[in-house]
Amino acid sequence: MSSLASSLQHHFTDFKQQKESVVLGMWSFLIQEVMFFGGLFATYTVFRSQYSHAFAEASGLLNVNLGGVNTIVLICSSLTMAMAVHAASKGKNGGIAFWLVLTILFGSIFLGVKVVEYKEKWDHGLIPGIHDEGLRFDHETHQPRPTGFWLYFALYFAMTGLHAIHMIIGIPILATLAINGLRGKYGPEYYTPVEMTGLYWHFVDIVWIFLFPLLYLIGAHGAH
């Protein structure tokens, strides 16, 4: 009970007030994140509206199967994260660690698949700033790429890269929570860190929910 008492900060009247403040504070951070990613989504909208054919053609070079599998993997990690918060609310400290380790596992699979995809793009010479030739001309047909083709890949790497950085930041936080869970630092009265990290992790999932159709699927019906 002493560790629980110490988790109530002195400037709050009670746990309920502290909890409400923390939840609103976390959402304020996430709204800032919406605007952070929003700039990239707005840039994407502007350039895709101008170069829709180049974007569809470039999107057709992505691996829809890997992207789709990764989407499911990330949804799995959101489920396990929700289960970790649920275990925490019931005071099951072993459950917190179990579900968080699964979340880390799914997050790592996602990042691993991302590495494979980035490697593919490297091999095909599609990295802006490095493979200027590959972005100007098709290797096989030697036909020039359409105007705006490289912009798609610049945005692809900026958006998926920023998303991946968020996951790379999230994983050590999840690991810390799992260890704290095993040390019995949380109880049904106080598990706010698990819940707030859950909000962050789900937010990252939502970003991917939009990235997947916007980046992977716009060339899927072969509009040439």
Partner 1 sequence: MDATTHHEEHHGPTVKMYFAIFAALSVLTVATVLAAKFDFAPMLGVGLGAFVNNAVALGIACTKASLVILFFMHVKYESKLVGLAVVASVIWLAFLVLITMTDYLTRTSDWHLFVR
Contacts of 142 (CB under 8 A, 6+ apart): none
Closest CB 84 distance from partner 1, rounded Å = 11
Closest CB 166 distance from partner 1, rounded Å = 15
Site of interaction with partner 1 (CB under 8 A):
20, 23-24, 27-28, 30-31, 34-35, 38-39, 41-42, 45-46, 49-52, 64, 68, 71-72, 75-76, 78-79, 81-83, 86, 89, 147-148, 150-151, 195, 198-199, 202-203, 205-206, 209-210, 212-214, 217-218, 220-223
Instruction: Return the number of the residue (30 or 158) whose C-beta is nearest partner 1.
Output: 30
Q: Is 75 helix (H, G, I), strand (E, B) or coil?
A: helix
First to last CA, the chain: 66
Instruction: Return the number of the residue (42 or 179) whose C-beta is nearest partner 1.
Output: 42
Closest CB 64 distance from partner 1, rounded Å = 7
Closest CB 196 distance from partner 1, rounded Å = 11
* Tally of CA atoms within 13 A in the half-sphere of 210 that contains its CB: 15
Closest CB 8 distance from partner 1, rounded Å = 18
Task: Please count the helices (runs of H) and the strands (runs of E) in the chain.
Answer: 8, 0
Count of C-beta atoms within a 10 Å radius of residue 36 = 13
Instruction: Return the number of the residue (10 or 221) whose C-beta is nearest partner 1.
Output: 221
Instruction: Return the number of the residue (6 or 32) whose C-beta is nearest partner 1.
Output: 32
Going by the DSSP 8-state scheme, the letter that residue 221 receives in this structure is T
Instruction: Return the number of the residue (181 or 201) whose C-beta is nearest partner 1.
Output: 201
Closest CB 178 distance from partner 1, rounded Å = 19
What SS3 string covers 138-190?
CCCCCCECCCCHHHHHHHHHHHHHHHHHHHHHHHHHHHHHHHHHHCCCCECCE
- The CA distances from residue 94 to 5, 85, 97, 184, in Å, are 22, 12, 5, 9
Instruction: Return the number of the residue (12 or 41) whose C-beta is nearest partner 1.
Output: 41
